[in-house]
A and B are shown apart, each in its own frame.
Chain A
Amino acid sequence: MSATAVSFSGVEKTYRRPGFLGARYTTAVKDLSFDIPAGEVTGLLGLNGAGKTTIMKLLTGLLFPTAGRVKVFGHAPSEGAAKGKVGFLPELPYFSPQVRPGEALAYYGRLSGLSGAALALGVGEALERTGLEPHAGKRVSEFSKGMLQRLGLAQALLHKPELLVLDEPVSGLDPLAIHDIRGLLAGLNAEGRTIFLSSHSISEVEKLAGRVLIMVKGRLAATVSRAQWEAAPGGLEAIFVEAVK
């Protein structure tokens, strides 16, 4: 395993919005450089519009950088070699309401290159780890928001990725679901997987992450380690508020 899971160097992303009187350009992230060490849990904090989702999409190959370079385990994010090592949970994932969780997972498992016994095993394990096994007979339309989030996490875990990219993994969940997911992520990290998660919840990031990146208006305002926020009066929240002010 490479020592660096993700590397951003001088990355800029500018969106082009075509309009009637010419295009409008909005810069979402600018001059962004950071590394995510393999095996760590790294949190990404920022206000709305700070560029968190853009970073997530850049490292999963859904967006292409306007300038700079993104590397995932030494490969460009659009390369199959990088994608095969990444599991992505977008914010509010969507699944066809008519299918059962096993069917949805089987589809995404096939897309991740699994087949036959490995696919069946992967689906079973993902259902078990996310606590969805008792609900395997239900249709997705019957799922609560928490169950959908678990299913989203299950599809990201299917192919046993080395890096998990999670966009708002506990958004809108009840405290019990948050507790369960936190436990699951801690377990995954204990297995050696790298986790990169964005969240609005400072306390959640504080509990899980070993390091936090704070984004302000598309720029990396601060990189804070657990030791730093534990030593600081007011903890991570005080550092975050100071950074975004």
Chain B
Amino acid sequence: MSRFVLPAAALLAWSAGAAVSGSYYRSPFPPPSEIHTPADGAAGDMFALAFGARRLFADVWFIRLMQYYGTPEFCEHEEHGTDAHAHHHCGENGEGKYPEFLARSRHVLEIDPGFTMAALYAAGSLAFNMGRQAEAEELLHYALKYSPKEWKYLKVLAAIGYTKADDPAAVAAAIAPILKDPDCPVMLKQQAAFLNKKIGNYPAAAAIYADIAATSRDTAYVRNAERELEKLSRLPPVKRKSP
């Protein structure tokens, strides 16, 4: 009889662990049926899941997304009067086609749905740089499914609505509360600064550019912010005041 005591106690303890875990744990992650892995990323996704390193592999996917978006696309235009085809960069400011952008962005969120900054960056790029507001909305709705309390997504959704209504002042106002958040991508800050400049709110634009110059580690954005600040400082004093 006593030889069954230890195995029975072991089984009981193990089952207790499984029971407590089963009743308490609810996965915050998308189910496997929602993960659409690109062919060349299956191994990475497997590691992400197998080693519980979703955040790390989401970072890798996000870096890949930035590299993809940072790669200039070549547009083909027929030049009149010659038979030759001329090639030149399009999308130097991120306004190219980048057909995989939505799929790649969504994949980052499929791996780590809590990666708020990636969702804001991708939605902002789709909506404000590439003019693909519908895709931006789709991405944000997906992100909201796993982070329903994320107010920043709602602000960007509102900004997208104002973009469709061609109201840059409202767009700038909608994204303004996000700008001081640590999750705010520098791209969105730049967009806000640009919109403020466009509507003539130079002090707000200057403040955002100054923030970019002071906080960003991206030299391209920092240099651009410094250039813009230089330009804004050369404006007549009367123009530099708030409208």
Direct contact of A and B (CB under 8 A): no
Write the residues of chain A forming the contact surface with B, with a CB cutoff of 8 angstroms.
Answer: none
Write the residues of chain B forming the contact surface with A, with a CB cutoff of 8 angstroms.
Answer: none
